Amino acid sequence: MSVTRGTVVVWTNDDSAPHTATAKDGNFDTGRLNKGESGQVTFDRPGTFEYVCNFHSSMSGRVVVGP
């Protein structure tokens, strides 16, 4: 996902299992999101931010923040 600086990214869990969006570098963590719950992060600086679900290591993604 590519966004501009200052964007708020929202993760919503529509699954029955819990999930997280946790930065690989420790920069952010939505915490445990149960079904129907959401977590958000504001990306204030440019860069590439990789994240993973702490419960399911095969679930990962990246947020690319432009200027």
- Summarize pLDDT for 8-18 with one digit per residue, the tens: 999 999 999 99
Each residue's pLDDT tens digit, 24-48: 999 999 999 999 999 999 999 999 9
- Say if residue 67 is exposed, middle or buried (CB neighbours under 10 Å; 0-12, 13-18, 19+): exposed
Q: Which fold has domain 2-66?
A: Immunoglobulin-like (2.60.40)
Of 67 and 61, the one with more pLDDT: 61
In this structure, what are the phi and psi dihedrals at residue 2, rounded to the nearest 5 degrees?
A: -115, 130
* The pLDDT of residue 67: 85
Check residue 24 and give left, alpha or beta (phi > 0: left; psi -120 to 50: alpha). Answer: alpha
* The pLDDT of residue 62: 98
* The pLDDT of residue 36: 98
* The pLDDT of residue 43: 98
Specify whether the CB–CB gap between 55 and 17 falls below 8 A.
Answer: yes
